[in-house]
């Protein structure tokens, strides 16, 4: 039970996951994954689609049971639902029948926060998301970007030890995406909550992360973990010019080029 | 910013909304008024009066049965049958649909049975209810219940099948207990379906009560209508029908209020979309 009292928040130990398909076949989604996430760390997970990166997130959240290995979250093995994590799904998934305010307060109310602290936190996080004045609006009255920000602060508001984000910016257009990445980093720099962020976008993976976990095609394995030595705070809009970006991105791309089985000749064209 | 700031019609210097509303009301009034006038004129001239009665005769019949207290007594009986059968049917229907959606085992066991029961034309059960529960109000309560139950059950259950699992997962991850999960997440998520079932079951509750009263009763609007028709008091039949219409309209008004309250988050969506 008791892990060494270092600053590891999440420890994934030799975790595998196989899914039973309609027939009697088993499909391997994850194969022997081990990973430590430190407190306050921003980790991104990249890989081709179908590599099981979303499955990894769902295992940590306890939404899906694992087939082998174990996951330890804050010195406790994850069995069943892991209510220590906040979860930001691909689509915003705000509860459409609750106002912005009630959505952000949902976790606080569920965990029985006192009224005064609840109101204060709600106010604070709504402001942080730039949604002041929209407290009483319903999600259907928000733009995609606003809904996304509300969805993120809903997960942050009740202070879970880890935030899991499953390609949250996937369906957005490039501009909105960049703005939200910038806002996410600004919020994160204030809160320094531990974030595990799944994406298929290599630039996004490098721009946000302290470390990038690279996964291979199904069954997903961890191919490499690349540290991103860029300083913070980062400027998302000029991320290419920041020192350390090119190096980390090149390393990442090299791995992917391998994965995609591209010949050197072709890859040059693709790269630039 | 606020919704009130913009009227439905922007840009174009179109006629104000109230003018349109007035016009619609005026046209409707003319059509309905014309119909009643035609009815009054036709009665006894072109069509036998005992077949179609006439608006003026209906009005006089109404005054008579109202003053004698006969109408009030019968209306009260039917109202009670609906007033007991409808809420119980709606609540148990919604509850059963919800439970079936929550428990796969329950659904697997009972779904075929319920579908089979649904295949039975439920008004055909009315005589059976009379045998079981007598000719008083309880047999009619039973018929109302069974009609209302199934409509609410099926709609709620259909909604539960459409329920987005991710909402449930998210709520549970955020620490929602069973109570919050049910009343703050699942039921609101399914509420558009529930409301649909609830509203469609309103006229059926009246049909249930009247059918029961047609078959065997000593009082109630159905009994009153049948008795009047039996002796060709057509005007009294129309009085009964008019009261039934009013009951349905009032019930719909109440349902609209509930809908507006429960589905506030949806109606607001529409208003915004209109504003573009």
Domain coordinates of chain B in residue numbers? 15-47, 62-275
Rounded Cα distance, B45 and B26, in Å = 29
The pLDDT of residue A4 is 46
- With a pLDDT cut of 90, the percent of chain B lying above it is 76
Please report the pLDDT score of residue A147 as a whole number.
Answer: 92
- Rounded to 5 degrees, φ, ψ at A270 are -70, -35
- Say if residue B276's pLDDT is above 50: no
Using CB atoms within 10 A of its CB, is residue A207 exposed (0-12), middle (13-18) or buried (19+)?
Answer: buried
- What pLDDT sits at residue B267? 64
Q: Is the pLDDT of residue B265 over 90?
A: no
Give residue-wise pLDDT tens across range B153-191.
Answer: 999 999 999 999 999 999 999 999 999 999 999 999 999
Question: Cβ–Cβ of A95/B169 closer than 8 Å?
Answer: no
Neighbours of A19 (CB within 10 A): 14
pLDDT tops 80 at residue B4:
no
Ramachandran area for residue B43 (φ above 0: left; ψ -120 to 50: alpha; else beta): beta
Tell me the average pLDDT across A31-52: 88
What DSSP designation does A94 have? -
Nearest-CA neighbor of A45 among A249, A212, A183, A216?
A212
Residue contact B191–A107, C-beta within 8 A = no
DSSP structural state of residue B11: S
Residues B92, A174: Cα–Cα separation, whole Å: 50
Count CB atoms within 10 A of the CB of residue B9: 13
Of A86, A95, A109, Cβ closest to residue B167: A95
What is the Cα–Cα distance from B101 to A222, expressed in whole angstroms?
Answer: 39
Q: What average pLDDT score do residues B110-131 get?
A: 87
Of A69 and B271, which is predicted with more confidence?
A69
Q: Is the pLDDT of residue B268 over 60?
A: no
Q: What's the token pair of residue B242?
A: 């008019």
pLDDT of B7 above 60: no
Please, which pLDDT band fits residue B5 given cuts at 50, 70 and 90?
Answer: very low
A212 half-sphere exposure, CB direction, 13 A CA radius: 29
What ipTM was estimated for this complex? 0.84
Q: What is the DSSP string of B37-95?
A: HHHHHHBTTTB-HHHH--HHHHHHHHHHHHHHTHHHHHHHHHHHHHHHHHHHHHHHHHH
Residue B269 has pLDDT above 70, yes or no: no
| pTM, full prediction | 0.82
Tens digit of each residue's pLDDT (9 = 90 or more) over A95-106: 999 999 999 999
Mean pLDDT over B56-85 rounds to 95
Q: Hey, which residues 154-193 in chain B have their CB within 8 Å of chain A?
A: 164, 166-167, 169-177, 180, 184-185, 188-189, 191
- Model confidence at A3: pLDDT above 70: no
Q: Are A61 and A164 in contact (CB under 8 A)?
A: yes
User: Is it the case that residue A268 has pLDDT exceeding 60?
Assistant: no
SS3 A138: coil
Query: What is the arithmetic mean of pLDDT over A28-44?
Result: 89
Residue closest to B191 by CA, chosen among B263, B267, B261, B99: B263
Among the residue ranges A216-220, A235-239, B253-257, the one predicted with the least confidence is: A216-220
For residue B42, what pLDDT band results from cuts at 50, 70 and 90? very high
We find that the CATH architecture of domain A8-84+161-271 is: 3-Layer(aba) Sandwich (3.40)
Which chain A residues touch B177 with a CB distance below 8 Å? 110
pLDDT in the model for residue B14: 64
Chain A residues touching residue B169 (CB < 8 angstroms): 61, 63, 87
Range with lowest mean pLDDT among A177-186, B117-126, B218-227, B264-273 = B264-273
Q: Which residues from B are below 8 Å from A87, CB to CB?
A: 169-170, 173
Domain with CATH 3.40.50.300 in chain A: 8-84+161-271
| Residue A151 CA: distances (Å) to CA of A163, A190, B267 | 12, 18, 22
Residue keyed to tokens 């306890």 = A62
At the topology level of CATH, where does B62-275 sit?
MetI-like fold (1.10.3720)
Q: Which residues contact B97 (CB under 8 A, 6 or more apart)?
A: B152, B153, B154, B155, B156, B157, B158, B159, B160, B194, B197
């Amino acid at each position: 039970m008791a892990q060494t009292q270092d600053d590891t928040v999440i420890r994934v130990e030799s975790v595998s996951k196989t899914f039973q398909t309609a027939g009697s076949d088993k499909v391997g989604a994850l194969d022997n994954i081990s990973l430590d996430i430190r407190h306050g760390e921003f980790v991104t997970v990249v890989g081709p689609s179908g590599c099981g990166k979303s499955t990894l997130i769902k295992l940590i959240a306890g939404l899906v049971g694992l087939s082998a290995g174990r996951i330890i979250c804050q010195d406790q093995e994850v069995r069943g639902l892991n209510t220590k994590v906040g979860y930001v799904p691909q689509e915003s998934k705000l509860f459409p029948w609750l106002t912005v305010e009630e959505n952000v307060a949902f976790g606080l109310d569920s965990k029985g926060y006192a009224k005064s602290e609840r109101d204060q936190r709600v106010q604070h996080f709504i402001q942080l998301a730039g949604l002041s004045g929209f407290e009483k609006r319903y999600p259907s009255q928000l733009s995609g970007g606003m809904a996304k920000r509300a969805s993120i602060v809903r997960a942050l508001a009740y202070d879970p030890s880890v935030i899991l984000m499953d390609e949250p910016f996937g369906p957005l257009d490039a501009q909105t995406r960049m703005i939200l990445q910038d806002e996410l980093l600004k919020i994160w720099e204030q809160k320094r909550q531990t974030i595990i962020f799944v994406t298929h976008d290599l630039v996004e993976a490098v721009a946000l992360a302290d470390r990038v976990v690279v996964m291979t095609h199904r069954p997903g394995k961890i191919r490499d973990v690349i540290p991103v030595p860029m300083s913070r705070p980062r400027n998302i809009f000029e991320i290419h010019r920041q020192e350390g970006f090119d190096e980390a991105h090149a390393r990442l791309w090299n791995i992917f080029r391998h994965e995609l089985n591209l010949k050197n000749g072709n890859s040059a064209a693709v790269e630039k | 910013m606020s919704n009130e700031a913009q009227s439905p019609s922007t840009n174009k210097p179109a006629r104000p909304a109230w003018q349109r509303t007035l016009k619609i009301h005026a046209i409707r009034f003319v059509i309905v008024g014309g119909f009643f006038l035609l009815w009054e004129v036709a009665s006894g001239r072109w069509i036998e009066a005992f077949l179609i009665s006439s608006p003026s005769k209906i009005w006089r019949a109404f005054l008579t049965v109202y003053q004698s207290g006969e109408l009030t007594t019968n209306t009260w009986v039917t109202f009670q049958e609906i007033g007991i059968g409808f809420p119980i049917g709606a609540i148990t229907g919604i509850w059963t649909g919800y439970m079936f959606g929550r428990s796969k085992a329950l659904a697997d066991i009972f779904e075929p049975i319920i579908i089979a029961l649904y295949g039975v034309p439920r008004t055909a059960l009315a005589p059976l209810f009379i045998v079981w529960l007598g000719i008083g109000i309880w047999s009619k309560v039973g018929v109302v219940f069974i009609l209302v139950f199934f409509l609410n059950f099926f709609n709620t259950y259909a909604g539960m099948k459409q329920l987005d699992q991710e909402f449930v997962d998210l709520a549970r991850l955020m620490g929602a207990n069973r109570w919050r999960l049910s009343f703050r997440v699942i039921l609101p998520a399914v509420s558009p379906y529930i409301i649909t079932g609830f509203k469609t079951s309103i006229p059926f509750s009246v049909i249930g009560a009247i059918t029961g009263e047609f078959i065997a009763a000593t009082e109630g609007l159905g009994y009153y209508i049948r008795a009047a028709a039996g002796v060709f008091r057509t005007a009294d039949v129309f009085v009964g029908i008019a009261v039934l219409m009013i009951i349905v309209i009032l019930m719909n008004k109440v349902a609209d209020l509930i809908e507006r309250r429960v589905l506030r988050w949806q109606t607001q969506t529409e208003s915004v979309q209109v504003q573009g």
